[in-house]
Amino acid sequence: MVHRYLDVRRLLCPMPILKAEAALRDMVTGEILEMRATDPGLTRDLPAWCRMQGHQLLALHQHGREWIGYVAKGCS
């Protein structure tokens, strides 16, 4: 179940990660953020950021020209 949706399409690095960070700040541990991006850099930035911040990357896949990621908020 997705708890929050974040549209970061047409934004370039570092904005998708900064927006995800802001969105997760208002969420509780275990809630899931779905984000859609057009910046291909998300494929390396999102997994690395999740590892560093203690969040769990549930999935990241490409759909057409978009990347869709699902992140479960960790206890950071």
Which sequence positions are flagged as catalytic?
Answer: 13
Q: Which of 70, 67, 69, 60 is nearest to 39 (CA)?
A: 67
Whether 6 contacts 20, CB under 8 Å = yes
Q: How many residues does the chain have?
A: 76
